[in-house]
Each structure stands twice: as structure tokens, then as C-alpha cells.
Amino acid sequence: MKTRYHSVVLDEEKCQGCTNCIKNCPTEAIRVRGGKAVILTERCIDCGECIRTCENHAKKALSETLDDLKNFRYRVALPAPSLYGQFKRGVMPRAVLAALRQIGFDEVYEVAAAAELTTYAVRTYLEEYTAANDRRNLPLISSSCPAVVRLIQVRFPGLIPRIIPIDPPYVTAAKIFYRERLPELDYPPEEIGLFFITPCPAKITEIKTAVQAGYHVDGAIPFVSIFGKLQEQVEAGEKIDVLPKSTGVGIGWARAGGESVAVKWDNSLSVDGIHHVAALLEEIEMDKLNDIDYIEAMACPEGCVGGALTVENPFVARVKIRKLAETVNDKELPPEVAALGAELYAKGFFYSGQELPAIPALQLDKDLGVAIKKLEQVEGLMTKLPGLDCGACGSPTCRSLAEDIVQGNAQLSDCIFILREELEELASKLLLLSQKRPPALGKTGSEKEVAKSESKESSGKD
């Protein structure tokens, strides 16, 4: 199987081989084998659910660090809107932006500001699409959470055409940076490093694997890894004056529901938490939500403020974001933003143009006939397995163990209940065998005794 790049990886030393993570994975992408968790790369969607679940912190995200800034002469931070919700109440974006400058960035370009252009683009796309399409081609699904997009590719390929083909805000931020700032700077593009300051591993993976046309994000640095440094700077007070461009419309994108509020689309629905998202996608796939236009689906609880690489409690951060958004106007797009949005939209600037293939990672076989046979074997095994979904075998459910067995990656005796049955059988066989004497042995006293007791036993049974 081809291995895909993932930012979520296992820290072997910390993994205790407990089975907490396997249960919570929305694509059943984790197994415990040989006392350690193993991530099945084809299935992993980098949602970070396992990072949240693991008490031993054995799941981590690979990312860039501040050290990587050294590789560039001009370093630009693209902070996610959710970063503003990580600090104490009353800490305003300008203080956060100044802190980013102070820890080593030459310039800061707010993703929250770009999100306002995205707001314009999504709204316009919705207007055009709903006017031109039948209700059965609705609802559309937001493209802003890469974990949700990946979930659709793996589990709901039929819904790929529903994903709004508009770039997520951080991509628009990078594109805008190259459009507006590159001509003003004295550096060639390869000497400029763009770093997305990320709440989650999903964005890291997206950045590493995207075919980036017309823009280039060089890396991603998680909130958790720089929060301490930023906090210090925020407390020390601003030494650099940075004027934030974003308004509440863009900042609001950090929380679940913020996107639909920004886009001002009444007939929309917002869902957060990867398992809730999966349940809702099931409904959409069954044509049960055709009366809704637009779904804002976020993998993390409370939206990006709940990203697996954030520091603040998601519920607290969500309130902070809402309050902050209210204080800096979350009602209307600034007219100049709307004007720029219109100009760029007409040029197709926001169109992502990304081919999103189905990822058939859950399929039993490429060949339909073989897959049918394998499913039949799985069903056969299901009649033998206890159906407790206990996870002790290292697979998340009895059914997934059955599939693993059929794929040659596990054995029936990996199930502790089956193992116990087999041991019991073996033990009684052993007992029987231990009572047998090789015929070559003469009729010794003990032999006679055994023969006697055997005949006693059989006569006793009669």
C-alpha cells in the first residue's frame, strides 16, 4: 500500500499499548500490534482525535519549529484566527501580532483578514450554485477543515462534488501575500518563508501534501510549540507596532458556526466534532438534508479553537473569540474588502482547482469479485467472534478484527475470547493425551491401574 504523508505520528517510547486511541478513530486507522499502536497511513485523516485521546501523549504532530526560520531571509507568519482565542481575555490581536514579530517573524499576515475575502467568495459561490442547481445537489459542504475534506474522501466519496471549491482562508492569505507584498519586497520568492501558525495537524498535512499553485506555504508551526514564547512577549508589552487588518467577520471563523455567521447564509447548518460530522455526512449521503444549502463542518469540538494543537480549553476559547469578534465589528464586510473580493472572484482567484480523488482505504479489495468473497469471509468470522467490541485484540471492533484477519493482518486467536476457548479445548485434549500410554509399554502396574480407571470411567458414564 502506498504510504501517504501524515503529520500525526506515534512516539513509540511513550506508547504503552493501551487501546484508548483505536476506539476513537473515525476511520478505524489505528491498531495495537506487538504492544504498540500502529497508524494505517492510507486511512488516517490527521484529525488529531488520537492526540486528544492519548493519556501518555504518545501521538504527536510533526511540524516545523522556530529553528526553521533560519532557512529564510524574510519570514512571514500567517496566524490562524483561532490563535487570538488562546490568550487571556482582553489581549487584543495587535498584541499577539506584535509578539509574533518579536519571536522572529519579519512580517505577519493575518489569516483572519484573508478569511474576509473567503467570506465574500463563499457567499458568491453559494448564490451562484443554489440558483443553478436542483435541491438534490444540495447541501454544499465547506472546504475549510482539511480533516473533514479527507474524511469525505475516505468514507463519503459520493459527497466529494459537494465540497465548495474555494480555497481555505490560509491559502488565500498566502496567495494575497504573494500578490500584494512580493512586488514591494527586495527578496526573491525562495528567500521568503511563509509559516502558517496552526491549531491542528490536519493543516500541517495539507500544507505538506497540497499541490500548491501560485503560492507557497513553507511550513506550519503549532500553537502549542510557541505559546510560551508568545505569552512572555504579550506580558512584557508591545515593542513593535503592528496594525491588525482583520475585523470580527474574519476572527469569527475561529469558532464553530463562525463561518456561516460571516457568510450570512441563513439556510445553513454548523456541526463540530469529527464523530458528529461523520453522522451528519451519513444523513447527507442519504439525501435527508436536501433542504439545507450549506454545511459548515469542523472536525474539532467548538471548531478550530478546539484544534488538537491548541492550548486553551475549546469552550473558553470559543467565548473569547465571540466576544472579541463583537468588539471589532462582526456584522459587515468592510466595503474595500468586498470590492477586492468581487474583483478577485471575477478572475477565479479563489477557485481551488484541486482534484479531490476518492481514497478507497476502507475497501476490502480493488477487485469487486474478490472484495465480495472477502466480505463473505468477514461475515463468517463475525458469527464466531463475541461481538463485544472490547478492543483487547488491538482492533477497534470485532468487525474490524474480522477484516484484519481476512486481509492477513491478524489471527482469530488474537481475540482473547477465542483464545480462551482454544486453550480450554487444548487443555482437555492435553488431559486426555496425558492419560494415554504408548502401546509399546508393557502392562505395568500403573498401566493396569489406568486401564482400570479408564474402564471405570466409561462404565460410570453408561
Partner 1 sequence: MTTPGMVLRFSVEGGDYAAAGEAASKIKKALRKIGVDAGVIRRVAIAAYEAEMNIVLHALRGRLILEVAEDKLRVIAEDEGPGIPDVNLAMQEGFSTASDLAREMGFGAGMGLPNMKKCSDTITIETTKDRGTKVVMNFDIDDDGVT
CB of 298 to ligand SF4, least distance (A): 4
Shortest CB 424 distance to ligand SF4, Å: 47
Closest to ligand SF4 by CB, 198 vs 395, is 198
- Judged by CB under 6 A, the residue of 163, 281, 299, 401 near ligand SF4 is 299
Give the shortest CB-28-to-partner 1 separation in angstroms.
11
Separation CA 376–CA 181 (nearest Å): 60
d(CA 233, CA 69): 18
Nearest-angstrom CA–CA distance, 19 and 450:
48
Give Cβ neighbours of residue 96 (< 8 Å, ≥ 6 apart): 79, 83, 84, 87, 230, 234
CA angle 1, 158, 303 (to 5 degrees): 85
Please state whether the peptide bond connecting residue 168 to the residue before it is cis, i.e. omega within 30 degrees of 0.
Answer: no
When asked if residue 244 is in the footprint of ligand SF4 (CB under 6 A), the reply is: no
| Residue number, 370 or 451, with CB nearest to partner 1 | 370
Q: Which member of 145, 249, 277, 398 binds ligand SF4 (CB under 6 A)?
A: 145
Helix (H) or strand (E) holding 146: helix 146-155
203 is a site residue for ligand SF4 (CB under 6 A): yes
Q: Give whichever of 101 and 255 is closer to ligand SF4, judged by the CB atom.
A: 255
Q: Is 147 in the site for ligand SF4 (CB under 6 A)?
A: yes
**Binder of partner 1 out of 235, 287, 326, 449 (CB under 8 A):** 287
Give the integer Cα–Cα distance in Å for 430 and 421: 14
**Could you tell me which residues come within 8 angstroms of residue 458 by beta carbon, excluding any fewer than 6 positions away?**
none
Query: From edge to edge, which strands make up the β-sheet containing 107-108?
Result: 107-108, 74-79, 192-198, 219-222
| Binding string, residues 17-56; x marks residues near partner 1 by CB under 8 A | ----------------------------------------
Within a 10 A sphere around the Cβ of 232, how many other Cβ atoms? 12
Q: Which three cell numbers stand for residue 424?
A: 480450554
360 binds, options partner 1, ligand SF4, none, Cβ within 5 to 8 A by partner type:
partner 1
* 3-class secondary-structure state, position 354: coil
Nearest distance in Å: CB 27, ligand SF4? 14
Task: Tell me which residues in 401-440 interact with partner 1 (CB under 8 A).
Answer: 403
363 binds partner 1 (CB under 8 A): yes
Whichever of 276 and 384 has its CB closer to ligand SF4, that residue is: 276
The C-alpha atoms of residue 218 and residue 371 are separated, in whole angstroms, by 41
| Neighbouring-strand partners of residue 268 | 294
Q: Round to whole Å and give the CA distance between 259 and 122.
A: 9
Which one of residues 17, 158, 228, 386 is an interface residue with partner 1 (CB under 8 A)?
158
The answer to the question of residue 199 lying near ligand SF4 (CB under 6 A) is yes
Question: How far apart are alpha carbons 311 and 93 in whole angstroms?
Answer: 17
Query: Which candidate, 255, 230, 195, 221, places its Cα nearest to that of 95?
Result: 230
Distance CA 112, CA 28 (A): 34
For residue 365, the partner it binds in ligand SF4, partner 1, none, with Cβ less than 5 to 8 A by kind, is: partner 1
Site stretch for ligand SF4 (CB under 6 A), options 29-37, 292-300, 355-363, 403-411? 292-300
Footprint of ligand SF4 on 27-86 (CB under 6 A): 47
Question: What's the min distance (Å) between Cβ of 284 and ligand SF4?
Answer: 18
**CB of 193 or CB of 199, closer to ligand SF4:** 199
Min. distance of Cβ 98 from ligand SF4 in angstroms?
Answer: 24
Among 339, 371, 426, 430, binds partner 1 (CB under 8 A): 371
Could you say which of 149, 202, 364, 393 contacts partner 1 (CB under 8 A)?
A: 364
Q: Is residue 282 within the footprint of partner 1 (CB under 8 A)?
A: yes
Binding span for partner 1 by CB under 8 A among 151-159, 186-194, 301-309, 318-326: 151-159
Q: 51 or 108, CB closer to ligand SF4?
A: 51
Contacts of residue 252, defined as CB under 8 A and 6 or more positions apart, other chains included, come to: 81, 258, 259, 261, 262, 321, 322, 325, 330
Is the Cβ of residue 287 or residue 425 nearer to partner 1 in the bound state? 287
Does 304 bind ligand SF4 (CB under 6 A)? Our answer is yes
Question: Which SS3 state, helix, strand or coil, does residue 11 take?
Answer: coil
In the complex, which residues of this chain contact ligand SF4 (CB under 6 A)? 47, 145-147, 199-200, 202-203, 298-300, 303-304, 307
